[in-house]
Amino acid sequence: NAGVTQTPKFRILKIGQSMTLQCTQDMNHNYMYWYRQDPGMGLKLIYYSVGAGITDKGEVPNGYNVSRSTTEDFPLRLELAAPSQTSVYFCASRPQGENQPQHFGDGTRLSIL
């Protein structure tokens, strides 16, 4: 049971480039989340999904896009990378039920130069 898998683990981008951060989970969880973690700022929610075909904005969605075509996958897209998007990105999932804890991937460290 792999849990939540994020790829890549590290990436350096140039300003203006685009890329997709991949997230997949094998626990059949309906709910999936993307967070960014900046020093001293805690985890900020970018986008989330309550099921395949449904996505919603979180607290800091600008500059990002997501899709949820399957239960397993929840990719995060950066269209025009900016230095402000340098961060560590975490994907998480949880099963149905508001009292369920979230399960996190190992993160993707992204630097934009």
Contacts with other proteins, residue ranges (CB under 8 A): 4, 31, 33, 35, 40-45, 48, 50, 58-59, 90, 98-107
DSSP conformation class of 73 = B
Give the residue with the Cβ less far from other proteins, 33 or 81: 33
Q: How far is the CB of 99 from other proteins (least distance, A)?
A: 5
Residue 84, helix vs strand vs coil: helix
- Spatial separation of the C-alpha atoms in residues 28 and 39, rounded to whole Å: 32
- Spatial separation of the C-alpha atoms in residues 13 and 82, rounded to whole Å: 9
Q: How far is the CB of 104 from other proteins (least distance, A)?
A: 4
Q: How far is the CB of 97 from other proteins (least distance, A)?
A: 10
Neighbours of 11 (CB within 10 A): 17
Give the residue with the Cβ less far from other proteins, 81 or 92: 92
Residue 109 identity (one-letter amino acid): R
Give the residue with the Cβ less far from other proteins, 67 or 102: 102
DSSP conformation class of 94 = E
Give the residue with the Cβ less far from other proteins, 12 or 50: 50
